[in-house]
């Protein structure tokens, strides 16, 4: 688990800064949808869940990008295997799929493989096992998350460089 942000130490943005941040988030999100669409990606909900998780929980720290990405992909794989096994093998497949998820949840509880099995993955697993996602293209979900990780990491790198340059000036 990552350390929680201490809100008392982080000053609130001004109203103008908050509006600017909101506009930037919406413009950059729209740009991602356009870029992703040209790459024939469709599961933007998953990329926004990933973005939220890495942004809020991991504060967009590059040392937390790999666990956020890998954990998210493990969560997608866990949801896929449950969907696949239950669709192809009925109740027996469902039982095996649930057992696999139980093992993954236990691994997460024990923090035995935090790079792969973590809260980001559990978040996506919880979402993707909802009945509304029974016919999801899980490959597209994974590809969209990977694409968003690349897009976000480039954006964050550029923004951090600009902010560092402004701080020096």
Task: Give a yes or no: residue 2 inside a domain.
Answer: no
Displacement of CA 25 from its chain's centroid (Å): 16
Q: How confident is the model at residue 75 (pLDDT cuts 50, 70, 90)?
A: very high
Q: How confident is the model at residue 109 (pLDDT cuts 50, 70, 90)?
A: very high
Residue 2 reports pLDDT greater than 50: no
Please report where in the chains the tokens 């740009």 appear, as a residue: 31
Helix 138-168 crosses helix 15-38 at what angle (to 10 degrees)?
Answer: 140
Task: Give a yes or no: residue 57 inside a domain.
Answer: yes
Q: Which domain holds residue 52?
A: 15-168
Task: Give a yes or no: residue 145 inside a domain.
Answer: yes
Task: Give a yes or no: residue 6 inside a domain.
Answer: no
How far apart, in whole angstroms, are the C-alpha atoms of residue 146 and residue 152? 10
Task: Give a yes or no: residue 133 inside a domain.
Answer: yes
Task: Give a yes or no: residue 64 inside a domain.
Answer: yes
Q: How confident is the model at residue 153 (pLDDT cuts 50, 70, 90)?
A: very high
Instruction: Report pLDDT for 8.
Output: 62
Own/partner long-range contacts of 9-13 (Cβ < 8 Å, ≥24 apart): none
Q: How confident is the model at residue 169 (pLDDT cuts 50, 70, 90)?
A: confident
Q: How does DSSP assign the chain, residue by residue? A: -PPPP-TTTSPPPPHHHHHHHHHHHHHHHHHHHHHHHHTT---HHHHHHHHHIIIIISTT-GGGHHHHHHHHHHHHHHHHHHHHHHHHHHHHHHHHHHHHHHHHHHHHHHTS-TTTSSHHHHHHHHHHTSGGGTT--HHHHHHHHHHHHHHHHHHHHHHHHHHHHHHH-
pTM: 0.89
Segment 114-143, tens digit of pLDDT: 999 999 999 999 999 999 998 999 999 999
Instruction: Report pLDDT for 9.
Output: 73
- Domain count within the chain: 1
How far apart, in whole angstroms, are the C-alpha atoms of residue 18 and residue 20? 5
Segment 23-71, tens digit of pLDDT: 999 999 999 999 999 999 999 999 999 999 999 999 999 999 999 999 9
Task: Give a yes or no: residue 73 inside a domain.
Answer: yes
């Amino acid at each position: 688990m990552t350390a929680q942000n201490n809100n008392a130490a982080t000053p609130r943005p001004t109203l103008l800064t908050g509006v600017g941040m909101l506009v930037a988030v919406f413009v950059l999100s729209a740009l991602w949808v356009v870029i992703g669409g040209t790459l024939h990606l469709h599961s933007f909900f998953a990329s926004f869940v990933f973005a939220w998780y890495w942004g809020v929980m991991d504060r967009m720290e590059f040392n937390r990008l790999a666990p956020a990405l890998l954990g998210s992909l493990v969560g997608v794989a866990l949801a896929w295997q449950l969907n696949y096994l239950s669709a192809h093998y009925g109740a027996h497949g469902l039982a095996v799929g649930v057992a696999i998820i139980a093992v993954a949840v236990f691994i997460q509880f024990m923090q035995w493989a935090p790079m792969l099995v973590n809260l980001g993955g559990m978040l996506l697993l919880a979402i993707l096992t909802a009945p509304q996602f029974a016919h999801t293209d899980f490959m597209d979900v994974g590809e969209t998350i990977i694409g968003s990780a690349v897009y976000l990491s480039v954006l964050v790198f550029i923004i951090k460089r600009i902010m560092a340059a402004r701080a020096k000036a």
